[in-house]
Amino acid sequence: MKRFDWFVDVLSKLSIILASVVSTTSVSQSMDLDPNEIRGTSSKKPVAVLQNRFFLKALRPEFGILYGSILNESYTKTTLIGVRTGMFLNEWVGAEAQFIKAGVQDSDDRKALNELRYRKFDDPDKTVTPDPEVNRISGITEVSAIAAPFYGKLSLLDWTIIYTDLYGTLGLSRVSTDQGSKSAISFGGGIRTYWASNWSTRLDFRDRTYTEIRGGQETRKHAWAVDFGLSYLLF
């Protein structure tokens, strides 16, 4: 419940931030090209120009928070809360580090299984439950390289311009589990939306793959995670 209250508090602060940057809409619009200056009096002449980036991020340290979840778990619900820091060397390539704590709760399916009781065949005086084998994740430390080759703008009802980056990530993770720390390869992608010169929001997807023991055998595990983040760029 405390984690949920924390997330609600973050969202409320985010709404205040977004409201405060509405005043920057006229600034970002003024930086955009005037179509009439390009095509003149003809409304049918195409405009094939994409203005350079309005929000630059090269050599600007980034600090942020994130909240997310692991998607592909059958018997547990894992929420992720963490912080990140990083920096782009230019507008296209950078690196970041993430430090994430995980909270784990039993899913409804596991709770239902734990309510079942059976008498052991070889010892009728003892009862057992069909508890599934679970290797819970408790934390993630990660270092990744980022490539952001795609940059674009969206016009919202001719009212404001939304600037976005599409990017991919590749890195190494240390995943803390019930079976100990696991070395993982992480890859994924995401979209960043800029709301002001310093503030941006992110939506990330990551697949962290590592080896764990299931049924007494080594098995390749894929932990699919999605998270929503708020970032602040210095300078």
Reported as a pLDDT band with limits 50, 70 and 90, residue 16 is low
Range of the domain at 88: 2-27+54-233
Torsion sign (Cα): 82, 83, 88, 89: negative
Looking at the chain, the whole-number percentage of residues with pLDDT higher than 70 is: 75
Give per-residue pLDDT as tens, 178-192. 999 999 999 999 999
Instruction: Give yes or no for residue 89 having a pLDDT over 70.
Output: yes
34 domain residue, yes or no = no
How many CB atoms within 10 Å of residue 111?
11
Instruction: Give yes or no for residue 28 having a pLDDT over 60.
Output: no
43 domain residue, yes or no = no
Average pLDDT, the chain: 83
Q: Report the CATH number at residue 143.
A: 2.40.160.20
What pLDDT score was predicted for residue 228? 98
pTM above 0.85, yes or no: no
What pLDDT score was predicted for residue 40? 61
Domain count along the chain: 1
